[in-house]
Amino acid sequence: IQITRAATGLAAVNLCRENTFNLILMDIQLHEMDGLAATKLIKQSNPDIPIIAQTAYAMSGEREKCIKAGCDDYISKPINISELLGKIDLLIK
């Protein structure tokens, strides 16, 4: 497994323009560009790449907001590793 980290939403978009990824774990609270805006841009050029949104927001409607932005799934913080691995397994098959 190779992991690439982007410190900002804009950096994530740029990395996706220059590289191929099997899956993206996208934090919603990023600097320069939030994770939902970054997801929309990434999905324009890479519609098949699975994106799991991660957020500290556990409010009603948050999952739907992430899915509407183009995320394939959603997980709230603190992240349960077993749940995350299950979501990854489903998306990369």
Burial zone of 2 (CB within 10 Å; 0-12 exposed, 13-18 middle, 19+ buried): exposed
Domains identified in the chain and CATH numbers: 9-91 (3.40.50.2300)
Which is more confidently placed, 82 or 2?
82
Check whether 3 has a pLDDT greater than 90: yes
Residue pLDDT, tens place only, 45-93: 999 999 999 998 777 888 999 999 999 999 999 999 999 999 999 999 8
DSSP the chain: ------SBHHHHHHHHHH---S-EEEESS-BSS-HHHHHHHHHHH-TTS-EEEEES---TTHHHHHHHHT-SEEEESSP-HHHHHHHHHHH--
| pLDDT value at residue 50 | 98
